[in-house]
Structure 1
Amino acid sequence: MFKKIAIGLAAALLLLLGVIATRPNTFTLSRTATVPGTPDIAFALVNDFHRWGEWSPWDKLDPNMKRVYGGAESGTGATYAWAGNSEAGEGRMTIEESKANESVRIKLEFLKPFAATNLTTFTFKPAQDGVEVTWSMSGDNNFISKAFSLFFDMDSMVGKDFEKGLASMQTAATAEVAKRAEAEAARKQAEAKAAAEAAAAAAAAAPAVAVPTP
Structure 2
Amino acid sequence: MAAPTTIERETVITARATDITPYLADLHRWVEWSPWEGQDPALQRTYTGEPGTVGSTYAWKGNRKAGAGSMAVTRVDATEVDVDLQFTAPFKSSSAVAFRLHEATDGTRVVWSMTSPQNLMSRVMGVFVNMDKFLGGDFEKGLAKLKAAVEH
TM-score range, shorter chain: over 0.9
Q: CA deviation at 1:127?
A: 1.0
Aligned-partner Cα distance in 1 for 2:9–2:44? 28
- 3-state SS of paired residue (2:128): coil
Q: Which amino acid in structure 2 is aligned with residue 28 of structure 1?
A: T
Say whether 1:47 aligns with 2:28. Answer: no
Per the alignment, residue 193 of structure 1 pairs with none
Equivalent residue in structure 2 for 1:134, among 111, 114, 130: 111
Which structure is richer in relative contact order (CA contacts within 8 A, separation 6 or more)?
A: 2
Asked if structure 1 preserves the Cα contact closer than 8 Å seen for 2:25 and 2:51, the reply is no
Equivalent residue in structure 2 for 1:157, among 126, 129, 134: 134
Say whether 1:84 aligns with 2:84. Answer: no
Query: Deviation digits for residues 32-58 of structure 1, max 9, x if unmatched?
Result: 100121111211110111111110001
- 3-state SS of paired residue (1:156): helix
- Which of the two has higher C-alpha Rg? 1
Aligned-partner Cα distance in 2 for 1:55–1:25? 30
Equivalent residue in structure 2 for 1:115, among 88, 92, 113: 92
Structure with the bigger percentage of helix: 1
Equivalent residue in structure 2 for 1:93, among 71, 77, 98: 71
Listed as ranges, the gaps of 5+ residues in structure 1 are 1-20, 176-214
Q: CA deviation at 1:94?
A: 0.2
Which of structure 1's runs of 4+ aligned residues deviate more than 3 A? none
Identity of aligned residues (%): 36
Q: CA deviation at 1:73?
A: 2.1
Per the alignment, residue 166 of structure 1 pairs with 143
Asked if structure 2 preserves the Cα contact closer than 8 Å seen for 1:25 and 1:142, the reply is no
Per the alignment, residue 187 of structure 1 pairs with none
**Would you say how many aligned residue pairs link Structure 1 and Structure 2?**
152
Query: Deviation digits for residues 47-90 of structure 1, max 9, x if unmatched?
Result: 11111111000121111101101022222111000111100000
What does 1:23-62 align with in structure 2 at a 5 Å threshold?
24-62=2-40
After superposition, the CA RMSD in angstroms is 1.2
- 3-state SS of paired residue (1:75): coil
Q: CA deviation at 1:109?
A: 0.2
Structure with the bigger percentage of strand: 2
Q: Which amino acid in structure 2 is aligned with residue 123 of structure 1?
A: R
What does 1:192-211 align with in structure 2 at a 5 Å threshold?
none
